Amino acid sequence: MNKITEALTSAELKIPKKDNLPKTEFQAALTNEKKSALQKYQELIIGSLSLTSLLKYEFLTTLLAPLPGAVGLALRKKFYKSLFGKVGRNVIFGKSLTIRHPHKIHIGDNVVIDDYAVLDAKGTDNKGIFIGDNVMIGRNTVISCKNGNITISDNTNIAMNCFIQSAKEVKIGKNVLLAAYCYVIGGGNHETDRTDVPIIAQGQIVKGITIEDNCWIGAGVNILDGVKIDSDSIIGASAVVTKPVPEFSVAVGVPAKILKLRKDT
């Protein structure tokens, strides 16, 4: 065996097999060769292997989700209730919503969910998404569980194109304003101590996020995992919040720092 052949053989031996590649939980579920495509679809999208649940989901979302105008709103308001864990009075479902694990989504009264929003409660042992009364969820906003829980309390307004993710607990209080393009990143932080193992294979540290009552979160704000924003605080546009924010604070910048207090403590 010449040196070139030895080098090629050595390189081949170091290439990991596909089955041994590090994967996220979602990747592992999608690439599980022991399950059929239908089983994977049911587990990831519907959260149940029940044929009845599959047929109801497919029938309602296929027929009603894309319908525009007043007819679509009226039909979804009447028939979508049977998909969810709970739906209160006078709930408006916009056009072309993405809904995953709907039996773990609980919605209060007078809620408006605008067109193209995502309600994703997926997870193997989480409780899901809980939306209080009089909540507004803007167009294209994504509310996504990674086996975590998300609570949005009464009278909170979430603008368009926001992203809220939870791998543990994300709690948003009452009377909270989230302007457009806010990211509430409760999916945890990747461990990075080792350099001999890909970051994707090193696991995560997840702490959760809390935004208390009466806060105003400006446009384009990023709130990182482990942060608590106490009540009546304001976060300036485009800030990146990496540390707790005391009540009645005004915080701005990257990373966010306390600019002033709204009242004397």
Asked if the structure places residue 120 within a domain, the reply is yes
Asked if the structure places residue 20 within a domain, the reply is no
Write down the pLDDT at residue 263.
84
Asked if the structure places residue 254 within a domain, the reply is yes
pLDDT per residue rounded down to tens, the chain (265 residues) = 454 444 444 344 343 445 566 666 666 666 777 778 898 899 999 999 899 999 999 999 999 999 999 999 999 999 999 999 999 999 999 999 999 999 999 999 999 999 999 999 999 999 999 999 999 999 999 999 999 999 999 999 999 999 999 999 999 999 999 999 999 999 888 888 989 888 888 888 899 999 999 999 999 999 999 999 999 999 999 999 999 999 999 999 999 999 999 987 5
Asked if the structure places residue 170 within a domain, the reply is yes
Write down the pLDDT at residue 29.
65
Structure tokens at 204: 């995560």
> Token match 């519907």: residue?
46
pTM to 2 decimals?
Answer: 0.88
**CATH number for position 67:** 2.160.10.10
How far, in Å, are 69, 75, 76, 110, 214 from residue 88 at the CA level?
22, 16, 13, 7, 23
Domain that holds residue 105: 25-190+198-261
Asked if the structure places residue 18 within a domain, the reply is no
Q: Are 100 and 61 in contact (CB under 8 A)?
A: no
Structure tokens at 125: 């042992």
Write down the pLDDT at residue 11.
41
User: DSSP H helical segments within the chain, as ranges?
Assistant: 3-13, 25-30, 37-41, 51-64, 69-79
Asked if the structure places residue 4 within a domain, the reply is no
> In 10 A of CB 63, how many CB atoms?
11
Asked if the structure places residue 62 within a domain, the reply is yes
- Give Cβ neighbours of residue 157 (< 8 Å, ≥ 6 apart): 135, 136, 176, 177, 178
Asked if the structure places residue 5 within a domain, the reply is no
Question: What are the φ/ψ torsions at residue 78 (nearest 5 degrees)?
Answer: -80, -45
> Token match 């309602």: residue?
60
Write down the pLDDT at residue 197.
87
Write down the pLDDT at residue 190.
86
Write down the pLDDT at residue 24.
62
Sheet (strand 209-211) strand order: 86-87, 105-107, 129-131, 149-152, 169-172, 209-211, 228-229
For residue 235, which of 179, 163, 185 has the smallest C-alpha distance? 179
Structure tokens at 250: 């005004």
> In 10 A of CB 82, how many CB atoms?
11
Structure tokens at 123: 């997870």
Structure tokens at 239: 């800030």
Write down the pLDDT at residue 97.
98
Which H or E run contains 197?
none
Domain total in the chain: 1
